[in-house]
Structures are given as C-alpha cells and as structure tokens.
Amino acid sequence: MKILALNASHRGEKGVTAFLLHQLQQGALESGATWETATLARLKINRCLACAECQGEDHPLTCVYHAKDDAYQVFAQMASADLLIFATPIYLMTMTGLMKTLLDRTYATMDVSAVRLSNGLIHHHLNPAISSKPFVPLLVCSNLENASWQNAADYFRRYARFMETRQVGQLIRNASNLFELKKHPHLAQRFPKVLEVIAAYQQAGRELATRGQLSWHTQRRANQEVIPVPFFWLLKHFRPIKQRIVTVLNTPSIFEEE
C-alpha cells in the first residue's frame, strides 16, 4: 500500500495537521506501507486562470503552467499512490486555499467537453489516475462547533461521487490547540484523552496500510471529544454550556503549567 498525504496547512510541518499526519504515518510504516507527504506550503502551485487553454486543440489537457510550477509533480505523486489523505486545517468553515487551489488545477487533467454520467450525476471526463483514488479527509480545527468543519466534510463526500471514487474513512479533529504538545507538553496530562486520540491515529495508519480503510471503532476513538467532561459532545450544544466554554477559552490558564 502506497499512501500519499496532501498536507494543506499553511504552517507546513509545524502545525497540528502535520503532527496528526505523523501519527498516521507511524502506524502505516509499522504495517508495511510506503508513505509520502506533499507539503503544499513548501510548493509553488499557481491558481487556475480559467483560461481554458487546457481544453483547446493546441495543447489539450496541458495547463499553461505545465513545468512552470509544482502542480504536476503533485499529480504524479497522486497517480502513483494507492490511497490519498486530504489533510487540511479548517479556515473560515472550509478547506485552506492551498488545498482548493491544488484541486482546482486538476481541471487541466479532464476533458470537460466529454459529458457523461458519474455515479448518477452529470459530469465530464476525468483522469482516474489522479482524481479517482480512494481517500480519507483529515479536517483539523480549533473550534468545538461541528458546524465549523461540516462544509468541508460535505465537500469531500460530494467529491467522491463526482470523481467516481470512495471515501474510506473520515478523521475530524476539533480542539486542535490541545494537540500543540511541543509548545505545551503538560496538555497530555491535563487532557489524557489526547493520548487516546494519538494512539487511535496510529491505529488508523495501520488499518489504512493493511485494509485500505478505517474501521468505525477506530474513527470513533480518533474523532472523540478530548475535553474531560462526561457527555461533552452532547452538553456543548446547550447555550449555557457554550457560554461557559467561551469564558474558559478566554483565559490563558488552560495552556499554563499548574
């Protein structure tokens, strides 16, 4: 199993997204997979110009930026992989611009004049080597509200349908500030479920390497709430509880050593 992780964090290797990918990588390598990470923040990927040159007769399916930036390098990595991980922090309720810019550029690999049905949806030709690989979205946000990441989750579910592929798991990590263990190593003691989540991510890597998909049990452990309050996943939907959360988050003590 060859896994390619697309890290769309603007912090590159320094962010929580990279930290969680490292846990997945550790488990995958232990189980015999090969692993690559494309850190988009380190690459030059120009935005699509909507110039339609790639759809013309002179240079069909060839972007004007071909060989002028790193998009085709990433496409080659995607084509050689067996499974993709779309890893992105949540910025303004959706994926980062780095991820969307890369996905926009796949337009140049598709003949949009060849209209057809795709999983019952009207779509056009696509390059399955790039766009039809099974994948897992990894969505990382500091906000505790489910509404903050749901737009991105919905996007990837629809992506799977249009691109005739399978989403083989879903990893959602809220309260991402609590995983800044390099800056605040004491957080693992104050929030012990952080360590449970890390172990679940390593298990997720093993499952992707050996099964090509995530089990429901592992996803549940990886996506669990880490705030040490019973039934927090339910309580956080009540306004008085939310107000209390806001009060706590507005004090710096949560990140200070006791």
Determine the structural domain holding residue 169 and report its residue range: 2-227
Q: Residue 46 carries which DSSP code?
A: P
How high does pLDDT run on average in the chain? 92
DSSP secondary structure string for all residues of 127-150: -HHHH-S-EEEEEE-S---THHHH
3-class secondary-structure state, position 169: coil
Q: Is residue 130 part of a domain?
A: yes
Cβ neighbors of 200 (< 8 A, separation 6 or more) are 218, 221, 222, 224
pLDDT of residue 239: 72
**From the centroid of its chain, how far is CA 217?**
19
Q: Is residue 176 part of a domain?
A: yes
Strands 115-118 and 121-124: antiparallel
pLDDT of residue 187: 84
Task: Report the alpha-carbon distance of residue 146 to residue 131 in Å, rounded.
Answer: 27
Report how far apart the first and last C-alpha atoms of the chain are (Å, whole number): 44
Q: Is residue 248 part of a domain?
A: no
Q: Is residue 254 part of a domain?
A: no
- Asked whether the beta carbons of 121 and 162 are under 8 A apart, the reply is yes
Helix (H) / strand (E) element for 34: namely strand 34-39
Q: Residue 209 pairs with which residues in a beta bridge?
A: none
DSSP secondary structure string for all residues of 47-80: PP----GGGSSSSTT--TTTTTSSHHHHHHHHHH
The total number of structural domains in the chain stands at 1
**From the centroid of its chain, how far is CA 145?**
18
Name the CA radius of gyration of the chain, rounded: 20
**C-alpha dihedral over 166, 170, 171, 172, to 10 degrees?**
130
pLDDT of residue 242: 66
Task: Report the alpha-carbon distance of residue 154 to residue 150 in Å, rounded.
Answer: 6
pLDDT of residue 47: 97
3-class secondary-structure state, position 240: helix
Q: Is residue 257 part of a domain?
A: no
Note the pTM of the prediction, 2 decimals.
Answer: 0.92
Angstrom CA distances, 207 to 15, 139, 176, 214, stand at 24, 19, 23, 6
Q: Is residue 49 part of a domain?
A: yes
Q: Is residue 14 part of a domain?
A: yes
Q: Is residue 160 part of a domain?
A: yes
pLDDT of residue 20: 98
pLDDT in tens, 196-255: 999 999 999 999 999 999 999 999 999 999 986 655 656 667 677 667 666 766 666 655
The domain that contains 132 carries what CATH number?
A: 3.40.50.360
Q: Which residues of the chain have pLDDT under 70?
A: 228-236, 238, 241-242, 244-246, 248-258
